[in-house]
Structures are given as C-alpha cells and as structure tokens.
Amino acid sequence: MTDRYSVIGRPISHTKSPLIHGLFAEVTEQDITYGAIEGSLEGFTDQVLTFATEGGRGMNITAPFKLQAFELADLRSERATLARACNALKFEQGKIYAENFDGIGLLRDIQHNLQVPLVGRKVLLLGAGGAVRGALLPFLEAGPQCLVIANRDLDKAHALAAEVNDARVQVCAYPALQGQVFDVVINATSASLSSELPPIAEGLFQQALLAYELAYGKGLTPFLRLAQEAGVAHLADGVGMLVEQAAEAFEWWRGVRPETRPVIDRLTVPLV
C-alpha cells in the first residue's frame, strides 16, 4: 500500500519538496506519494488532522505554520522544543510527533557537503529567528569556539541565548560587529528576500572561510556579493540545507537515508 506524505505552507506554489521527496523515493525504492497543500490561516489544524485521519504518514511544515504545528504535536524533540517550532510531523498510533531538521540540515551541508568543520571556529549568525533557533543545538554539538548572534532586537537574541545557557553563545548588536572577524558567517535574516544587505561591513569577512546565505535560488545576493568582494573562499546558498533537512525527514519517516548530492546538483542555481 502506498504511503502518503505532504508539505503544507502558504504560499506553497514555489515548493521544491514534492520534487525532492519524489527523487528520494525513486532512488530508495520507497512506495510513497508526496503532495503539497495550500495551508489555511484559519483551518491549519483541521487540515493536518484530516490528512492524518485519512491515512497520511507525515508532513513537512513550512512558513507560516511551524509554530502552530509545534503546538499541535503530542510529542516534541529537543531540537523542536528549543526552536518552539517544527518543520516535520509524523503520525503514528494516534500520536503526532514533531521534529525540527532545519539546523541539522544546515550543519550537514556546511560540514559534509562544503567540507568546513565548525570545531574550534568562530561562527556568526545574523538574525535570531526560527532558523537560528533550530541551528543552535546542532551547531553547539559540532564544537565551535563561539557562536555569536547578531540581531536588531537584542532582547530577542538574549532570550534565545538564555534558553541555551551555554557560555559559547554570545549576543551583540550589529554596530558592535565592527572590528570583529569570524571563520563562518551565516545570513539567517530576511534581507536577501528583498535584495537588501544586512547591516554589516566588508571587514567582517577578513578571515572568513565560508559565507552562507540561507535563502536559496537567488544567485549572488547582496550578502554573498559582499563576501565575494572581500575574498571569501567558499560561498553557498541554502539549497544544500533544503535538501539535507528533507533527507533527515525522509529517514525519520522511512528508516533509510537517501543520497543528497545528485538532488543538490539538480536544484543548484549558479551564484552569479
């Protein structure tokens, strides 16, 4: 019997998830179907429960429903609990399980695909939203020297650091980045979605090994262009994170982890 999965979000027309999971199912010979559901702002909970009641096995959750999905779950992973959001649900024996694979997908892309280990590194995270929340635990487990969160809303960033309660996690305002240097700089703000640059200067990249843009498929964003002009060796957008978090969800659901490199290559947009 074919098992059903889906992604739900609003808007959803842009999603690559059905293509990604379809390719995963093909190479792993898993008998599944994977669809896309346009989420309702008022009826999201009913949509999820209906999908589960009708035999759905799992769902990926995208904006703006990650918090609602987390609240809906009966059981939540540590990663999802820290983020207070989830990007994957599993339905088993009448229970809803919540997971957050965004951070671990990002970490795997950086360390495995891009070959930039975080152990002993100084890492800068621009922004303090859900993506950063999801990344903190996996990143800390990778053994960096420090994780600095830069955000306009310092109270939000300090609250996040307090939840983690790890001395390696530091917080600063954007102006305080002046004169500091980092090994890895990750743009987790929404600036690139409107072709804008976060409030940072080129000097930030003086010793950087990697500049990573969470937005994907947008080519050379202002953030990546600034890093390129500063001479950063590795530039990357979020397509690898997208595929790696999908692979984590697929393994969680199906018990087999698909090869990700061919899918990343297929979806990659040149950074020009």
In the chain, the percentage of residues whose pLDDT exceeds 70 is: 100
- Tell me, yes or no, whether 174 lies in a domain: yes
Identify whether residues 20 and 135 lie together within a single domain: no
pLDDT recorded at residue 131 = 85
Q: What is the mean pLDDT of the chain?
A: 95
Number of domains in the chain: 2
Give me the CATH number covering residue 27. 3.40.50.10860
pLDDT recorded at residue 146 = 97
Identify whether residues 118 and 202 lie together within a single domain: yes
Contact 174, 148 (CB under 8 A): no
Reported as a pLDDT band with limits 50, 70 and 90, residue 221 is: very high
Identify whether residues 90 and 189 lie together within a single domain: no
**CA angle in degrees (0–180, nearest 5) for 117-123-127:** 130
Q: Which residues are known to be catalytic? A: 66
Identify whether residues 229 and 116 lie together within a single domain: yes
Instruction: Render pLDDT for 57-72 as a digit per residue (tens, 0 to 9).
Output: 999 999 899 999 999 9
pLDDT recorded at residue 202 = 84
Whether residue 176 is predicted with pLDDT greater than 90 in this model: the reply is yes
Domain containing residue 191: 103-237
Identify whether residues 116 and 138 lie together within a single domain: yes
CB atoms within 10 A of CB 74: 9
Identify whether residues 252 and 213 lie together within a single domain: no
- Tell me, yes or no, whether 272 lies in a domain: no
Give me the CATH number covering residue 107. 3.40.50.720
Query: Going by DSSP bridges, is the β-strand pair 95-99/122-126 parallel, antiparallel, or unpaired?
Result: unpaired
Identify whether residues 9 and 68 lie together within a single domain: yes
Identify whether residues 230 and 145 lie together within a single domain: yes
Say what the pTM is. 0.93
Contact 30, 1 (CB under 8 A): no
- Tell me, yes or no, whether 83 lies in a domain: yes
- Tell me, yes or no, whether 218 lies in a domain: yes
Segments in the chain forming alpha helices (H): 17-28, 44-53, 66-72, 78-83, 102-108, 130-141, 154-164, 222-229, 239-254, 261-267
Identify whether residues 217 and 127 lie together within a single domain: yes
Identify whether residues 95 and 146 lie together within a single domain: no
pLDDT recorded at residue 55 = 96
